[in-house]
Amino acid sequence: MNEHGLLDLRNKLDSIDEELLKLINERMEVVHQVGVLKAKSGGAIYRPEREKEIIDRLETMNSGKLNRAAIEALFLEIFAISRNLELPENVAYLGPEGSFTHQAAEGRFGAMSSYVSIASINGIFREVDTKKAKFGVVPIENSSNGIVTDTINCLNKYNLKIIAEVVLDIHHTFASTCDKVQDIKRIYSKDIAFEQCRKFLANFGLDEVEQIPIESTTKAAKLAAKEPFSAAICPHVGAKLNNLPILFENIEDKDNNKTRFFIISDFENAQSGNDKTSILVEFPDRQGALVEFLTDFNNSGINLTKIKSHIVHGNSIFFIDFDGHKDDENVKGILEKHKDTIKVLGSYVKEINDI
């Protein structure tokens, strides 16, 4: 190795780092000024639509080696650090640590935020509702298992807002302290994870082995790590956290297994130009109510992207997503016309990765 060459390059990196540090501190100073303005007006510190606008703009003007994912990872961390210096805010997620919801939360709020692991979806809503946490992260649907009933019930029960969606590609691993699959006597996992990995279990003759459903896949890894002749279907991080050897990666039946999460909070987003809105609708008990509703949306040129029916206390309600923001001109009229039957859950930036 050319020692001089290396030294020169390292000196160059040192001065770039000094420059970066100076610029990031300068940026923090400006964020602080924005924070002061927001404190006066009572506005929310976190503005997902503004953060997206910054990342989109940087991606368009980018000519270097960084791709969108890298720009996003770097800048989301910078934003999260700025916000936390401005006002530290808790993020409550469906635990335990290492769960897919935890991964979704960290992807959005970065390494510097303070996280609280909560054992139930209702507990997360309560935490945000009582202002113990500013943000809550909950799963809403999975591409193989459909909608998460507890989340719909809580969206109906509490008056909190969806402020962002996150879609994660879900991969399961098969982990065990046993070297031989044939020696495994018991498998721990979450009921929906067993369902998502049926073919794998059958292919390895594991469908006859006792399957023990428990509340989380990370807890499954914890149990399997302690108990000989047992295994877990769990996230990669869950196995790593519990020092449980991974025997197989990506064991899910479908190769596009995705989960969508909502971030809930107590404020509403401004329009970003690329929004989605979620609503709950309880139709009056009269003929044609649903048709009339759908026709109104169609006539206003609004694209419904999802419609799922769901039973709450014996009544059928619909969970609906559509393109657009609740303050868009063509959306406002419809929401006003049907205001007695609609509950607006929130307008938020539409993710590129979709379910």
- Give the residues lining the site for ligand ISJ (CB under 6 A): 31, 34, 45-47, 50-51, 54, 79, 82-83
User: How far from the centroid of its chain's Cα atoms is residue 205's Cα?
Assistant: 34
Our CB check for ligand ISJ shows the closer of 31 and 264 to be: 31
Q: Map tokens 């909070």 to a residue.
A: 265
In the complex, the smallest distance separating the C-beta of residue 162 from ligand ISJ, rounded to whole angstroms, is 16
CB of 264 to ligand ISJ, least distance (A): 16
Using the minimum distance from each CB to ligand ISJ, give the nearer residue, 44 or 290: 44
Query: Least distance in Å: CB of 53 to ligand ISJ?
Result: 9
Instruction: Give the type of residue at 218.
Output: T
Report the residue number, 43 or 205, with the smaller CB distance to ligand ISJ: 43
Rounded distance, CA 290 to CA 272, Å? Answer: 29
Instruction: Indicate the DSSP class of residue 170.
Output: -
Q: How far is the CB of 148 from ligand ISJ (least distance, A)?
A: 27
Listed in sequence order, the residues at least 6 apart from 209 whose beta carbon sits closer than 8 Å to its beta carbon are 184, 185, 186, 187, 201
**CA dist 68 → 46, 73, 108, 167 (Å):** 21, 9, 15, 16
Nearer of residues 51 and 141 to ligand ISJ, judged by Cβ: 51
Question: Which residue lies nearer to ligand ISJ by CB, 87 or 307?
Answer: 87
Q: How far is the CB of 51 from ligand ISJ (least distance, A)?
A: 5
Give Cβ neighbours of residue 192 (< 8 Å, ≥ 6 apart): 142, 144, 145
- Please, which residue, 79 or 322, has the CB nearer to ligand ISJ? 79
Please report how close the Cβ of residue 347 comes to ligand ISJ at its closest, in angstroms. Answer: 16
Rounded to the nearest 10 degrees, the angle between the axes of helix 48-61 and helix 68-86 is 140
Residue type, 211: Q
CB atoms within 10 A of CB 256: 10
Q: What angle do CA 266, 321, 127 make, to 5 degrees?
A: 25
**Smallest distance, ligand ISJ to C-beta of residue 44, A:** 8
CB 48 within 8 A of CB 348: yes
**What's the CA gap between 283 and 4, in Å, rounded?**
75
Q: Give the residue with the Cβ less far from ligand ISJ, 45 or 71.
A: 45
> Contact 241/295 with Cβ under 8 angstroms?
no
Report the residue number, 49 or 252, with the smaller CB distance to ligand ISJ. Answer: 49
Smallest distance, Å, CB 48 to ligand ISJ?
7
Taking the CA atoms of 340, 345, 348 and 352 in sequence, report the sign of the dihedral they define: negative
Q: Are 318 and 297 in contact (CB under 8 A)?
A: no
